[in-house]
């Protein structure tokens, strides 16, 4: 609840940002950089179990790290769900049910500025077509 209030306040403070410095471009650069170092939340695991997404659950290791190939068992591999359309455009193949870490990126800890320095308002709907 407190996080929600802070996010709304933060969005209001940044509402005057020029269009070029606000809003996700769906470039996928953050996914390229961090997609191999994600952690599933309890809510992610519950959601995927309810949806019967054993394919996703199979890529979670015993410590909760994702996406871990069961044979290689190492972190740092590219996210298998990033679909690159061009060097500057990408899609998430599991956008509607992607991990909370992806949904929350960039967090308040990052000042809601992504790796490109762009201000990203909090996503309000999983149907939002942008990556973040
Ligand atoms: S959050 Fe930033 S780096 Fe990530 S896809 Fe959007 S514009 Fe690109
Ligand atoms: S799950 Fe989706 S949003 Fe998360 S790193 Fe992979 S492609 Fe990006």
Which pLDDT tens digit goes with each residue over 90-102? Answer: 999 999 999 999 9
pLDDT for 1:
57
Cα separation, 122 vs 16, in Å, equals 15
Take residue 51 and report the two structure tokens written for it.
Answer: 């949806």
Report CA torsion sign: 66, 121, 117, 128: positive
What pLDDT is stored for residue 131 in this prediction?
78
Cα 82 to middle of ligand 1, angstroms: 12
Question: pLDDT tens digits, residue range 15-71?
Answer: 665 656 889 999 999 999 999 999 999 999 999 999 999 999 999 999 999 999 999
- Is this structure's pTM higher than 0.75? yes
Any idea what DSSP says for residue 123? P
Which atom number of ligand 1 is nearest to the Cα of residue 131?
A: 5
Indicate the pairing of strand 38-39 with strand 65-66. Answer: antiparallel
Q: Residue 2 pLDDT > 60, yes or no?
A: yes
pLDDT score at 38: 97
115 lines ligand 1 (CB under 6 A): yes
- Please report which confidence band the pLDDT of residue 129 belongs to, taking 50, 70 and 90 as the band edges: low
If you take atom 8 of ligand 2, which residue's CA is the nearest one?
31
Rounded to 5 degrees, φ, ψ at 6 are: -60, -40
For residue 116, report the distance from its CA to the centre of ligand 2, in Å: 16
> What is the model's pLDDT at position 15?
65
Position 89 scores a pLDDT of: 96
* Ligand 2 pocket mutation, candidates 81, 96, 129, criterion most atoms within 8 A of CB: 81
């Amino acid at each position: 609840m407190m996080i929600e209030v802070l996010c709304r306040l933060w969005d209001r403070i940044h509402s005057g940002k020029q269009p070029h410095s606000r809003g996700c471009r769906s470039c996928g650069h953050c996914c390229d950089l961090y997609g191999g170092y994600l952690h599933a939340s309890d809510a992610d695991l519950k959601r995927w179990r309810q949806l019967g997404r054993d394919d996703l659950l199979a890529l979670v290791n015993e410590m909760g790290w994702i996406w871990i190939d069961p044979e290689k068992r190492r972190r740092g591999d590219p996210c298998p769900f990033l679909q690159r359309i061009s060097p500057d455009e990408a899609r998430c193949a599991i956008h509607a049910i992607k991990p909370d870490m992806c949904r929350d990126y960039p967090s308040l800890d990052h000042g809601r500025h992504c790796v490109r320095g762009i201000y990203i308002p909090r996503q309000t709907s999983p149907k939002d077509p942008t990556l973040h």
